[in-house]
Chains A and B, each alone.
Chain A
Amino acid sequence: MMKDRKKFKFHHRNSTLKYLASHWQLYVLLLIPVAFVIIFKYAAYPGLRMAFMDYKPAKGYAGSKWLGMGMFEKVFKDKDFFRALKNSLIFNFLDLALGFPVPVILAIMLDQLRFQRFKRINQTILYLPHFLSWVIIASVALSLFKPQSGIVNIILRDIGAIETGIPFLTEKWHWMWTYLLIGVWQNMGWGTIIYLAAITGIDTSLYEAATIDGAGRLQRIWHVTLPGIRPTMVTLLILNLGRVMGSNFERLSAFSNVNVKEFQYQLAIYVYEKGLAGSNFSKATAVGLFQSLTGLILVVAADRVAKRLGDDGLM
């Protein structure tokens, strides 16, 4: 018995060695990306020690005082941190609430379009904002929405809808809705791709049956199209919920100005301003670590849930 197992084990290792010997080229190839992530990603992990000490660049790791969880206690008493966290969560939920339904509705409308050429041209145009950087989008928005000289306010004034210009991007509440709606606009076309694919996958005989049963267009959408894309919607919703701790530095910084600081101050901005601009490395690292960890937990949890519901998930 013992002998047999030993023999088996030996045989097993031998076959692995044999595999490695005949496929060494594959491992040589793999070494390149592995070395790459070690140098440019993993090598940054030891820096996370900063979150547990009062790190002073001049003193280095050895000379700086070890705080244990002290820095986190400090962070959780920090008003700025709570403002950033609150803003991030609120904006992310609103982003999701406003941004999630739009691609679904637009995809259904595109699918319903009877004029194929018209449809294709519109699709191409609707995807465009996805290809532009936040700097370009914010620059254009700034030019469009200026209170005095922006074209939107000029038009609204000319048609007599308003007396004085609306401060779309310079007053915090207006800014919030403008910022969120521009986000919805940026993603509305691109987001349809996955739903259009899902709609294509719906069995056409279901539509025929519904038509024969006398279902009108809206009924067909309600009873066939929507149930058909529901799994896709659920998966995307869950995966997006997994990202509520995220914070898009480029988008926030592109839309920043002094008047809207109160709402624009979100986690990515906190880390940037405390860390790089303010040189408070330990605090910024602690918040970054908090964000990474909670983000990881949420994404993994979301993926589990999505998988349990029977879809592919993302891992």
Chain B
Amino acid sequence: MTQKALSGKKSVFSGVNRVRVSDLVIAFIVLLLSLTCVLPFIYILAKSLSSNTAVLSQKVFLWPVGFNVNAYSSIFRDGKMTHSLLYTAEVTLLFTVIGMLITICAAYPLSIKGLKFKGFFSFILMFTMYFSAGLIPEYLLMKDLKLLNTMWSLVLPLSFSAYNMLIMRSFFASTIPDTLYEAARLDGASDFRILFSIVLPLSKPILATLSLFYAVGRWNAYADAKYYITKQSLQPLQLLLNNMVLDAAGNDAISIAEGAATQSTPEVLQSAAIMFATIPIICIYPFAQKYFVQGTMIGAVKG
């Protein structure tokens, strides 16, 4: 939609159809900025596939030198990261399903015109977005609920997002016309029935978008894991990577090196670990990006 409108405008004032210097300058700047988003990852990838000596003697730039996959096979042999990857996928899936169900349950009634006590319910659901109890009260709540050191501490507390609910509500309200709703009611359809046979089938794009919001958000978050999880087997991938690369001495990288009797130096191993955690995102990215843009537009208009 954006593309079409933009290119339509272009033809109006580009007038003469020749490329000017300023066009090339702009294109060059944009290209440079794009390169800053790509080259770092290519560099890390090249490093993760290079030999220790090549990395040590600083010969690696954007292409592997002394190609080998030792670092990756160490990661697989050690199994900690692969386990964490599957575990994080499981947490993300559960989180997304629960989050979507709760969000639908909130957004559908609140999108209906004339719902009694709408303001009251909206307030209850949205207040938490503006005022949080803070880390310590929330931590103690997790403790009281006996959720510390369980995967549920990562699945439940964050799985309702008022922001996502707002986006879904405004989509429902603008996509499903009141007349359609009223006609269905007159035909004797119950509110449940309308939700399942009319609203949800008409809302597939927003369901996909918000599922991705939830999934990517969960996949990337790790602060709550740092607060609530101390057991290593329950740590999500991002936290594990944090411990391997960013924590003072990269202790976990060393333990991988020991556990898997690797020949790779910590630096190569860390590069491989970074790629290991990045590749899943890059795989879904081309597909997810479009939906993200759409969701953000709705969020910007009505959020």
Contacts and interface: CB of A to CB of B under 8 A. Distances in A.
Interface residues on A, range: 35 or more
Interface on chain B toward A: helix, strand, loop, or mixed SS?
helix
Contact of A47 (B124, B136, B226, B273): B136
B274 interface: yes
Given A26-B112, A143-B271, A135 B9 contact: no
A276 B227 contact: yes
Contact of B281 (A131, A211, A249): A131
A160 interface: no
Interface in A91-130: 106, 109-116, 118-122, 124-129
A125 B109 contact: no
Contact of B302 (A34, A41, A211, A312): A312
B34 interface: yes
Contacts of B124: 34, 37
B33 A276 contact: no
Contacts of A110: 30
Contacts of A16: 116
Interface residues of B, number: 106
Given A42-B128, A106-B33, A143 B44 contact: yes
A257 to B, nearest CB: 8
A161 interface: no
B135 A275 contact: yes
Interface string B80-121: 000000000000000000000111011011101001100001
A27 B141 CA distance: 27
Contacts of A197: 2, 297, 300
A125 B27 contact: no
Contacts of B101: 32
Contact of A113 (B30, B140, B222, B292): B30
Contacts of A33: 102-103, 105-106, 125, 160, 165
A281 interface: yes
Interface stretch (A80-88, A170-178, A283-291): A283-291
B84 to A, nearest CB: 12
Nearest to B114: A19
Contact of A125 (B38, B110, B274): B38
5 contacts: A36-B102, A45-B137, A143-B43, A151-B61, A271-B135
**Nearest 5 A-B pairs (CB), nearest first?**
A288-B134, A47-B137, A133-B220, A44-B133, A33-B106
